Amino acid sequence: MFEWTSDMSIDNGFIDEDHKKLIDIANRVLLLNRPNRDAEELKRAVRELYDYVKYHFDREEALMREIQYTDTESHHQKHQSFVKEMNHYLTSSHHMHEMLDNFQKLMHEWVIHHIMEEDRKLNNFMKSRTPDP
Ligand SMILES: [Fe+2]
């Protein structure tokens, strides 16, 4: 199971809320992936995860452009390749369990590396721009 921890926090309310929600949906997918699973419910959850990832990336990138974040383009590229990988697993997996295994690895990679490293750089950038009171 994935868990949001305070060291993932970004100094911007909506990003943390989005990350928590993404982790919730990813955990729901994991929980639904059990013996005698309801395939339709599982597919709906995977679809919800996919849609929410895209929605979240769009708004995170809109924020980057708004604050003129210097690494916007490379961060955008990382989001794009994540979405591309999700698309690939959704369309080319032969079995549900294969797709879910890959999704799980991808989410793990995203939670551990993307949030902890890439999104933190954005956090540091925002902090560096905030004038001292
Ligand atoms: Fe990001």
Please write the tens of the pLDDT for every residue from 38-82. Answer: 888 988 999 999 999 999 999 999 999 999 999 999 999 999 999
Task: Compute, in angstroms, the gap from residue 37 CA to the centroid of ligand 1.
Answer: 31
Task: Compute, in angstroms, the gap from residue 119 CA to the centroid of ligand 1.
Answer: 5
> Average pLDDT of 97-108?
88
- Angle 72-92/96-109 helices, nearest 10 degrees? 170
Q: Is the confidence at residue 35, as pLDDT, over 90?
A: no
Q: Is the confidence at residue 90, as pLDDT, over 70?
A: yes
Task: Compute, in angstroms, the gap from residue 113 CA to the centroid of ligand 1.
Answer: 10
- Are the C-beta atoms of residues 37 and 108 closer than 8 Å to each other? no
The pTM (predicted TM-score) of the whole model is: 0.89
Q: Is the confidence at residue 87, as pLDDT, over 70?
A: yes
Q: Domains in the chain, start-ordered, CATH in brackets?
A: 12-129 (1.20.120.50)
Q: Is 36 left (phi over 0), alpha (psi -120 to 50) or beta?
A: left
Task: Compute, in angstroms, the gap from residue 114 CA to the centroid of ligand 1.
Answer: 6
